[in-house]
Amino acid sequence: MSPITHIPMSLSLYTQYRQHQLEALLEITRTFASSSDLSTLLRTILGYAADLVHADFGYIALTTPAGSLRITTGYRLPTAVFEELSPYLAQKRPVEDFWSEAELRRQLELVNAVTQTTLEQVVALPLVLEDEEVVGGIFLFRTGTIAFTPGDRMLLRDFADQAAVAVRNARQVEQLRTEKARVEAIIENNPNGIMILDPQFRVEIINRALSQLLGVAEDDVVGQHCAQALRLRNRTGEHLCLSESNPPPPTRVLYGEGDIVRPGHKTITVGVSYSPLFGGDGRLANIIITFVDITRYREAENLKSTFISVISHELKTPVSLIKGYAGTLARTDVVPDPDFVRESAAIIVEEADRLTELIDNLLDASRIQTGALSMDPQPLDVAAVAKKTIERFRTQTDHHQFILDFPDDLPLALADERRLRQVFDNLISNAIKYSPEGGKIIIGARKQEDELTVFVRDEGVGIPEEELDAIFESFYRVDSSLRRSTQGAGLGLFLVRAIIRAMGGDVWVQSQPGQGSAFYFSLPIAS
Ligand code: ADP
């Protein structure tokens, strides 16, 4: 490939060129040292090249990954020429073709056609690296008939070689910058927590997700030892951060699981991977730690095992009672006593009802999870629904006293009757279950601003303060001696809350252990 292609000329000003060239090379070196900005560098190169050959205008085009040329820098380049040449250069072909004499003549014709001038020469300096890689070319247009001597050509070739190296370096720096920015963006915006440690286990980088997870500001932890920055312990209480006495095995990624415990915050369970990163010299350069929040996964696992144990326990009791009584009734070797038959049948019915209720509750719980709990809110007399519910419960207990406390002028609520009955059923059966000594159970309501507050109050065992939130979670039962003697799957209050919320209200509880509990829920007023 010819480094300089031009249309022959007659005169050479060797010394001038040489001086210009030296100045140009010096300036390019300076520019490159002071700025690795590619566009500044290209402008400088082009300015000096144009000066060297006394060009009227010109441009630098760099090779694109697609194998064509793209104008990146212009020297006094008329817009019309830019617009004419851009599509011409964008045509894919072997890049060497661009400086064949025929193509250069074509460029000159195109340029003359748009500028309405008679430029006579185009000088093309291909920017070629030692390994023959073409990074682009400098194209300069000029009038006049001065020819280049072989000496001029050599100097211009030197200039082009230097410029090619400078362009390659600036391109590499730019590429590195882009890569760096990309990696930084990936780290910073990653939804998983990322921490990068130096070989001494000090924090170099902590991303946004991890700062939030740990509740710390980036500036506070950078430079800290990992064990100090990361209060992370595994299930057996062991510190999960690496220490100098426990360096990671050179070629392995370590994985562990642990809890991030922050006072006043929910404990977060994380899966942590430690990946060692080695430098070219084989020494440990960094340790990259990634944190994945697996709290939900853990909760789901726990819920699944609780579900299985609670359900199997709750199913076993009624099934074995039904089987026992039915088995006795089925015996043919004894004539059963009529009272025993009646009692056994009543127990079988009661236990079958309990099974039905459990199955219904489970179905509702799964509907809540899939968001398919049906609701048909209508204007409703809450006092009438409460009254009907306690009529049924009255027959089940003789040591509880039911009191209704509804003002006469209570407005109608907007609620689904069947679901409201379910709420009262759960709250009143709990009030009975958890007041084994008996006592008053007061059910009432008050109008409060634009909603009704309904309450079910008992004088039973009460609930410890630290359990007040948890009792509304599915399968949750307060651990006490009463838990073992009362039946329940821990689904009642979970359903109550979901139903009330679906009707536009909320539920809460006040309680004193040993004194009793008061469950409250709000309902919108039917307007
Ligand atoms: P279950 O009654 O089936 O256990 P619930 O979801 O209805 O499930 O209630 C969850 C837990 O809340 C109960 O196990 C009990 O410990 C506590 N609890 C509910 N209601 C009362 C109440 N009125 N008094 C005392 N504790 C209650």
Q: Indicate the average pLDDT of the chain.
A: 84
Q: How far is CA 202 from CA 198, 208, 254, 310, 357, in A?
A: 5, 18, 18, 47, 58
What is the three-class DSSP state of 8? coil
Q: What does the pLDDT average to over 103-132?
A: 87
Query: Could you identify the residue written with the tokens 């008996």?
Result: 438
Which listed CATH number (3.30.450.20, 2.60.40.1930, 3.40.50.410, 3.40.50.720) goes with 191-293? Answer: 3.30.450.20
Nearest Cα residue to 45 out of 34, 60, 56, 61: 60
Confidence check: pLDDT of 391 > 60 = yes
According to CATH, the topology of domain 11-177 is Beta-Lactamase (3.30.450)
Our mutation pick for probing the ligand 1 site, out of 358, 426, 427, 430, counting the most ligand atoms within 8 A of Cβ, is 430
| The CATH homologous superfamily of the domain defined by 378-524 | Histidine kinase-like ATPase, C-terminal domain (3.30.565.10)
Domain 11-177 matches domain 191-293 at the CATH topology level: yes
Atom 14 in ligand 1: residue holding the nearest Cα: 477
Are residues 170 and 38 in contact, defined by beta-carbon separation less than 8 angstroms? yes
Q: Which helix (H) or strand (E) holds 120?
A: none
CA–CA gap between residue 335 and residue 330 (Å, rounded): 10
pLDDT at residue 5 in the model: 46
**Which pLDDT score is estimated for 152?**
62
Residue 10 φ then ψ, to 5° = -115, -35
Q: Provide the pLDDT for residue 7.
A: 41
Please state the atom number of ligand 1 nearest to the C-alpha of residue 495.
Answer: 6
Alpha helices (runs of H) in 99-149, residue ranges in sequence order: 101-115
Rg (CA), the chain: 42
Structure tokens at 157: 């070739």
> Which amino acids bring their CB within 6 angstroms of ligand 1?
426, 430-431, 434, 458, 460-463, 471, 476-478, 483, 488-494, 517
pLDDT of residue 363: 84
Pick the residue whose CA is nearest to atom 11 on ligand 1: 477
Report whether pLDDT(245) > 60: no
Share of the chain above pLDDT 70, in %: 88
Give the domain 299-370 fold: Helix Hairpins (1.10.287)
Domain regions of the chain by residue span: 11-177, 191-293, 299-370, 378-524
Ligand 1 atom nearest 487 alpha carbon? 3
* Contact in structure between 72 and 42 (CB atoms under 8 Å): yes
Whose C-alpha lies nearest to ligand 1, atom 13?
477
* Of 120, 151, 150, 149, the residue nearest 55 (C-alpha): 120
> Is a pLDDT exceeding 60 seen at residue 340?
yes
- Residue identified by tokens 């509304």 is 472
CA of 492 relative to ligand 1 center, distance in Å? 8
pLDDT at 54: 81
Q: Which of 77-91, 250-264, 461-475 has the lowest mean pLDDT?
A: 250-264
pLDDT at 149: 63
Q: Tens digits of per-residue pLDDT, 170-223?
A: 888 889 999 999 999 999 999 999 999 888 888 999 999 999 988 888 888 999
The number of the ligand 1 atom at minimal distance from the alpha carbon of 431 is: 23
Tell me which of 317, 478, 482, 507 to substitute to probe ligand 1's pocket, judged by most ligand atoms within 8 Å of the beta carbon. 478
Q: Is the pLDDT of residue 411 over 90?
A: yes
The two tokens of residue 310 are 């609670």
> Residue 463 C-alpha to ligand 1 middle, in angstroms?
8
Structure tokens at 142: 């000029």
Q: What's the mean pLDDT in 453-468?
A: 94
Above pLDDT 90, what percent of the chain? 35
Confidence at residue 326, expressed as pLDDT on a 0 to 100 scale: 92
